[in-house]
Amino acid sequence: MNHLLIFGLGYSAQRIARAARGAGWSVIATRRHADANSIAFDDEADVRRAIARSSHILSSVPPDGARDPVLDRYGPELAAFRGWIGYLSSTGVYGDTGGAWVDESAALAGRRGGRIDADRAWGALPAARVFRLPGIYGPGRSVFDRLAEGRAHRIALPDQIFSRIHVDDIAGAVIAATAHGPPGIYNIADDRPAPQNDVVTYAAGLIGIAPPPLRTLAEADLSPAAAAFYAENRRVANGRAKRLLGWRPRFADYRAGLRDLSASTSPISTSAPPAMLSSDQT
């Protein structure tokens, strides 16, 4: 039996754990506090025993500022590990490309210094696969939820374009990488980058409501994190993952993913004033 240890059980890692268990794997994760299916991250003895028992290790823990908590605490054990290692990184390491396509050979740049350092540190481990992920969406975390909560925007930036990925396609790529492909860097994105405004408008149409009004960045009054999202513009190429992992996204574009999600989305009340309908990145 394959034994998978996951550092951090966030949104994407939970779907990966479910997929691995569905394939008959044993899965355990670290969390802040232990429960029946996890061990405490700070319990070094238990974590080191779990590392020693594992055939596969995946980290979904983001850097804490300039430091990677997992490598800081368990770096020597991971460097000595000779099984399969995976790390969930971000396509944000490429920075702004002015809408140009980027593949895994692109230089790392931009505002995410800690993420870039962590990406490089994990990539330096001999057995590591680094999965660079764009905007993630899926059940409970999509434009439908932001429309319902009044957090969806359409921003007047006509040339802005982004890549995204359905959370179940992340799980599919990680599982595929346990059987195929060498260690290295893999962009995991869908096939069709698109403007965020198109995503918001299409989702609103699927559930029969008017899209939020088009606004300038200043009018939208975004949080610093949301505004920073709109400061970057790129298309992410996924050809390497397709060639080497034998992976194909089940949801090849946002339309396919949103149609699938809309089947389980509750109707949204249209009684809220239009000013309350605003959006965030996928």
Query: Residue 277 — very low, low, confident or very high, per pLDDT cuts 50/70/90?
Result: very low
* Nearest-5° Cα angle at 241, 237 to 243: 105
pLDDT of 50 > 70? The answer is yes
Could you tell me the residue ranges of all domains in the chain? Answer: 3-276
pLDDT of 23 > 60? The answer is yes
The single-letter code of the amino acid at 85 is I
Query: Residue 274 — very low, low, confident or very high, per pLDDT cuts 50/70/90?
Result: very low
pLDDT of 271 > 90? The answer is no
pLDDT of 268 > 60? The answer is no
Mean pLDDT of the chain: 92
Question: Beta 128-133 vs 184-187: how paired, if at all?
Answer: parallel
**DSSP character for 33?**
S
What's the mean pLDDT in 20-24? 97
And the tokens for 202?
A: 């299409």
What's the mean pLDDT in 22-30? 97
**pLDDT tens-digit map of 243-263:** 999 999 999 999 999 999 998
What's the mean pLDDT in 224-234? 87
pLDDT of residue 273: 33
The whole-angstrom separation of Cα 263 and Cα 260 is: 6
pLDDT higher at 279 or 103: 103
What's the mean pLDDT in 80-99? 96
The whole-angstrom separation of Cα 206 and Cα 265 is: 10
pLDDT of residue 225: 81
Give me the residues paired with residue 193 across strands.
none
Query: Residue 281 — very low, low, confident or very high, per pLDDT cuts 50/70/90?
Result: very low
What's the mean pLDDT in 20-46? 94
The single-letter code of the amino acid at 78 is L
**What is the CATH code for 3-276?**
3.40.50.720
The whole-angstrom separation of Cα 273 and Cα 103 is: 42
The whole-angstrom separation of Cα 96 and Cα 162 is: 10
Query: Residue 166 — very low, low, confident or very high, per pLDDT cuts 50/70/90?
Result: very high
